[in-house]
Amino acid sequence: MTSTVPTGMNLPLLSIDSRKCTLCYTCIRICPVKAIQVKHNQPFAEIDDQRCIGCGNCLDICPEEAISFRSSVQQVYQLLDSEHKVAAIVDPSISGEFDDITDYRKFVKMIRELGFDYVTEVSFGVDIIAANYRHLVGDFRGKYYMFSNCPAVVMHIEKYNPELIGNLAPITTAMTVSACVVREKYGQELKVVAISPCIAAKREALRYEDSGKVDELITFRELREMFAEKQIEESKLEFSDFDQPLGAAGALYPVSEGIIQAARLSEDLLDGSIITSEGSGNIATAIGEFSTHIDDLQKHFNLFYCEGCLMGPGTSPNRNKFLRRSLVINYARKRDSIFDKQAWQDQFTEYARLNTEAVFRNDDQRMEEPSEEKISEIMRIIGKGDEVGMKGCSACGYPSCREFAVAVAKGLAKTEMCHSHNLRNQQEYIRSLRITNEKLAQTRQALEDSEKEARKEKETALEAMEITRSMLQKIPSGILLVNENLKIIQANQTFVRLLGDEVAEINEIIPGLEGADLKTLVPYNFYSYFTYVLDHDESVVNKDVHYGERIYNLSVFSIRKHRIVGAVIRDLQSPEVRGEEVVNRLSEAIDENLRMVQQIGFLLGEGAANTEKVLNSLIESFKAAEKGSK
């Protein structure tokens, strides 16, 4: 039988709706291969499809119903609408699933109403592979096998124990054999749709090509969905039986031991050579013990991830295991009582020759084990010592703190998943918040005090400013402040009056001429003094400036170096200034004359003294000469 890996196998089998996930880690706890991971800075769990084995344990365990499996309903509708004949091959677990349908023949009719041309039983395929198992176990050649009935078990070994692939029974599944049978009977162009309780079988359905290929697989849940969409109800339909060939003991296959009974192999504890194990909690242990102790065990292993196919994840989630078991057994017993054994034997002989060889592939998903140093580092981060390395609350989804640390090191988990670590961080965070809040309260009080002080200072400054402004307006001289761009910062009313009516009109629009350009208000010989003071930071005092027909006395001084200058302007022709200016200038003239008189007096005084010295010297010389002549 030829293997293939078609495009469909690359589509996620199970997925998590990130909008519904609350990170409760329930799915991580239940996943037997830890294919569900939480990445750093990711607020939801995610299924790694490459690592997933499709066991479906997580499907109904999620309290938020955030997990779903890939639906094939639309693809099946497309097949039914195509020009091809389509056969439905129905898993025998159907007898335990549809307890609400009174007669299996009504159930068969309901499937036909969907548009299927043929409806056959997978239990006939079970009969064929059961014979192969009987031969494999009976013709023992020293090698022990694990039965390959369960697709999830097969994928587990291919992904996580590939060294045991050689110990997988080289017998394909009943579903694949059934696809071969219906194509052999009804034509190789036939399209085949499997109806199954198994989600992992969606991958198994795409494992083979040629006659063993299953074109699509729908679960019992999806089948119920299709019945509801098409409004197909038992009460409106007549009986219809399965198409040939019909199964025999293969109807017991949904029960874990059913394949052993169908193969007529011994289940005796003393004489039997097969160990049956079911349930995800036991499978990893069973595979591990098979790997390490098979020489001591000396048994073949019959393994099912579910508690029998009748409890598969594709069934309705009512989980009435023993009711389903009873329904399966009662259906098999009823069929056996009316069964045409000779017809079955003839058909079995015809189709037993079909190729049932399984094809497995190494799909190793094991990750490199992290170093002890890395594990210890993560243990320290989450606050765990070596003494608790094998303990833990399992709230993170891992059975021990060490296994959790290993998962973190592999990138499958993050430290925030550890509840005790989070709680400790939260307590530290609360303490930090408390300290921060206290500091914030102190800072807030200091800010409030500072704000009050600033408000008082502002009020004082505003009051002082108002007083200053009022004083400036009272001063009879013009007062002016300008910035480095010769833009007026402030001007009093006297300055406005000095410049005339045009400037007064501007002042009505812009009070105080704030922002006005001085260069547009006065001529160059006026504002050039402002430019000089700004550039040189030197004051200009008592400069007479002609402005129109008037003469102003201008003093410009620096307030902020190169940034702000102030000026005092006086109208020399105004009566009050004129008198003051005449007095000032007379005083200056008198002072200047006095200084000149003083200098003249000083010079005259020095001249008289020098003359006296010369005269005295001449007299002394004359007297000396007179004495010498006598």
Give the whole-angstrom CA distance, residue 554 versus residue 531.
Answer: 14
Share of residues in the chain with pLDDT > 70 (%) = 84
Give the whole-angstrom CA distance, residue 559 versus residue 562.
Answer: 9
Share of residues in the chain with pLDDT > 90 (%) = 43
Q: What's 371's DSSP letter?
A: P
Q: Per residue in 298-340, pLDDT tens? A: 999 999 999 989 999 999 987 788 999 999 999 888 888 777 8
Residues 511-523, mean pLDDT to the nearest whole number: 85
User: Which positions ≥6 away from 426 have C-beta within 8 Å?
Assistant: none
Q: Is 132 part of any domain? A: yes
- The tokens describing 64, both together, are 């938020």
Give the whole-angstrom CA distance, residue 414 versus residue 149.
Answer: 36
Q: Is 622 part of any domain? A: no
Q: The domain that contains 546 carries what CATH number? A: 3.30.450.20
Pick the closest to residue 172 from 187, 151, 189, 156 (CA basis).
Answer: 151
SS3 state at 568: strand
Note whether 139 and 246 are same-domain residues: yes
Give kind and range of the element (H or E) at residue 327: helix 321-337
Mean per-residue pLDDT of the chain: 84
Count Cβ atoms within 10 A of the Cβ of residue 68 and give its class: 0-12 exposed, 13-18 middle, 19 or more buried.
middle
What's the confidence (pLDDT) of residue 602? 47
Residues 375-381, mean pLDDT to the nearest whole number: 79
Note whether 116 and 211 are same-domain residues: yes
Give the whole-angstrom CA distance, residue 152 versus residue 280.
Answer: 10
Pick the closest to residue 26 from 397, 351, 350 (CA basis).
Answer: 397
Note whether 564 and 588 are same-domain residues: no
Residues 512-526, mean pLDDT to the nearest whole number: 85
Note whether 222 and 274 are same-domain residues: yes
Read off the amino acid at residue 164. Answer: L
Q: Does residue 520 or residue 40 have the better pLDDT? A: 520
Q: Is 587 part of any domain? A: yes
pLDDT at 588 over 80: no
Note whether 569 and 596 are same-domain residues: no
Q: Does residue 36 or residue 601 have the better pLDDT? A: 36
Residues 200-217, mean pLDDT to the nearest whole number: 90
| Residues 419 and 396 sit within 8 Å (Cβ to Cβ) | yes
Note whether 530 and 401 are same-domain residues: no
Cis peptide before 245 (omega within 30 of 0): yes
Instruction: Give residue 402's domain range.
Output: 372-417
Helix axis angle, 372-381 to 401-410, nearest 10°: 110
| Residues 120 and 87 sit within 8 Å (Cβ to Cβ) | yes
pTM of the model: 0.66
Note whether 569 and 589 are same-domain residues: no
Q: What's 572's DSSP letter?
A: T
Q: Is 360 part of any domain? A: no
Residues 5-26, mean pLDDT to the nearest whole number: 77
What's the confidence (pLDDT) of residue 576? 60
Q: Per residue in 250-271, pLDDT tens? A: 999 999 999 999 999 988 888 8
Domain count, the chain: 5
Q: Is 85 part of any domain? A: yes
Q: Is 621 part of any domain? A: no
Give the whole-angstrom CA distance, residue 88 versus residue 95.
Answer: 15
Q: Is 425 part of any domain? A: no
Strand 300-304, strand 274-278: pairing = parallel
Give the whole-angstrom CA distance, residue 191 versus residue 294.
Answer: 42
What's the confidence (pLDDT) of residue 10? 60
Q: Is 76 part of any domain? A: yes
Provide the phi-psi class of 359: left if phi over 0, else alpha when psi is between -120 and 50, else beta.
Answer: beta
Note whether 189 and 304 are same-domain residues: yes
Note whether 94 and 42 are same-domain residues: yes
pLDDT at 496 over 80: yes
What's the confidence (pLDDT) of residue 6? 43
Residues 522-547, mean pLDDT to the nearest whole number: 87
Q: Which of 320, 351, 382 is the last residue of a domain?
A: 351
Note whether 393 and 317 are same-domain residues: no
User: Which positions ≥6 away from 165 have C-beta within 8 Å?
Assistant: 157, 158, 360, 362
Note whether 173 and 276 are same-domain residues: yes
Q: Which of 405, 440, 474 is the last residue of a domain?
A: 474
What's the confidence (pLDDT) of residue 624? 59
* Range from 173-182, 482-491, 513-522, 614-623 that averages highest in pLDDT: 173-182
Pick the closest to residue 67 from 25, 27, 11, 33 (CA basis).
Answer: 27
Note whether 438 and 485 are same-domain residues: no
What's the confidence (pLDDT) of residue 389? 47
pLDDT band at residue 128 using 50, 70 and 90 as cut-offs: very high
Q: Per residue in 384-421, pLDDT tens? A: 765 544 566 767 777 778 877 887 777 777 777 776 66
